[in-house]
Structure 1
Amino acid sequence: MTRCLASVFIATSLDGFIARPDGELDWLPPAEPDNDMGYGQFSASVDVLVMGRHTFEKVLSYGDWPYDLPVKVLTRSKLTLPEALVGKIEFMQGEPAAILDALATHGFQHAYIDGGETIQAFIGAELIERLIITRVPVLIGEGLTLFGKLPAKKDRLAWAHVKTFTWSNGMVQSHYRRR
């Protein structure tokens, strides 16, 4: 059995934060109608979204559910699923490798990994194959970082630069593959 691949598509502030300390994303600019900055192409390449509980709760707070693909929420807590999302979301728990193996046994081939702690766990387990980071030209001073402390003996995870795009709004997006 081949393990499900895992990729990240995320925005950071220029100073490297993915959210304010309280999880707020108010520093992100509004979406542009004619430029999704590669998100459509990326989302077409994945068949399942794996997110952490905090990210799930943040997305729920926005109202309408934005995802069409199956979503797996990693949590150790008992959560109540809104009626409208029954059948669209499944709760899971386990180590990153076990999560990707379980997804593969259910026919999934490529997972979109989202949420700071979840991304950090999958990077620490050396399971992220593709990393797409869009830097927003704003400094927020403090917040939740994309990269946390790596596990012992994994302090030199190497990535190969694939390409970088810039847009007129000042955003810069870099694509990396794990070496």
Structure 2
Amino acid sequence: MTNYVYIATSLDGFIATSNGGLEWLEELPNPEQSDYGYAEFMKSIDAIMMGRNTFEKVLTFAQWVYNKPVFILSNSLTKLPDDILDKAEIIKGDIKKLISQLNQKGYKNLYIDGGQVIQSFLQEDLIDEIIITRVPIILGKGVSLFGEREKPLKFRHQKTQIYNNILVKSHYIRER
């Protein structure tokens, strides 16, 4: 199984403002109306695992944006909105066991999303590839992508792409 992180950060490494806001991403000029490779990435994954905070943010969007199964990793959520019951599932427990169970169900490529979930996966050394798009803004504070680490994890640079002379997307693979 391969676990991917695909995310945007500010130059100072934040994925959201302190209150979870993403307005700074919506302000990006996009003359080509590009998705910056997101659709291509989504073709390569089988399912998405996200945390409660990310899930609650996604629920504020005008429509459900995923066409893949979504697993919400949460110890506090007990129920999903009726309109997405067939699109998402709440899971909880040890993430290594959950990954093994999803693998046994045929999921081989997972998109891991949400600051706390990403940090938990990194803590357990369960992230295989990271694709980070850096946005040229310094937020100063907010939700950190990586947080504090007890020990370093080494990644190897795979490639970097520049979009609209603004965004820098870099792809890294975990060195084992």
TM-score (structure 1 length as normaliser): 0.92
Counterpart among 17, 20, 33 of residue 20 in structure 1: 17
Secondary structure of the residue that 2:20 maps to in structure 1?
coil
The answer on whether the counterparts of 2:158 and 2:171 sit within 8 Å (CA) in structure 1 is yes
Distance in 1 separating the partners of 2:155 and 2:80: 37
How much identity, in percent, do the aligned residues show? 43
**Structure 2 counterpart of 1:91, one-letter code:** I
Counterpart among 156, 163, 166 of residue 167 in structure 1: 163
Deviates more, 1:76-85 or 1:45-54: 76-85
Alignment of 1:77 onto 2:76: yes
Deviation at 1:79, TM superposition (A): 3.2
**Structure 1 counterpart of 2:114, one-letter code:** G
Deviation at 1:170, TM superposition (A): 0.8
Distance in 2 separating the partners of 1:63 and 1:104: 31
**Structure 1 counterpart of 2:4, one-letter code:** S
What stretches of structure 1 move > 6 A for 4+ residues in a row? none
Aligned residue pair count: 173
Distance in 2 separating the partners of 1:101 and 1:66: 26
Distance in 2 separating the partners of 1:76 and 1:38: 32
The residue correspondences of 1:95-110 to structure 2 (distance < 5 A) are: 95-110=94-109
Structure 1 residues not aligned, in runs of 5+ = none
Distance in 2 separating the partners of 1:72 and 1:167: 30
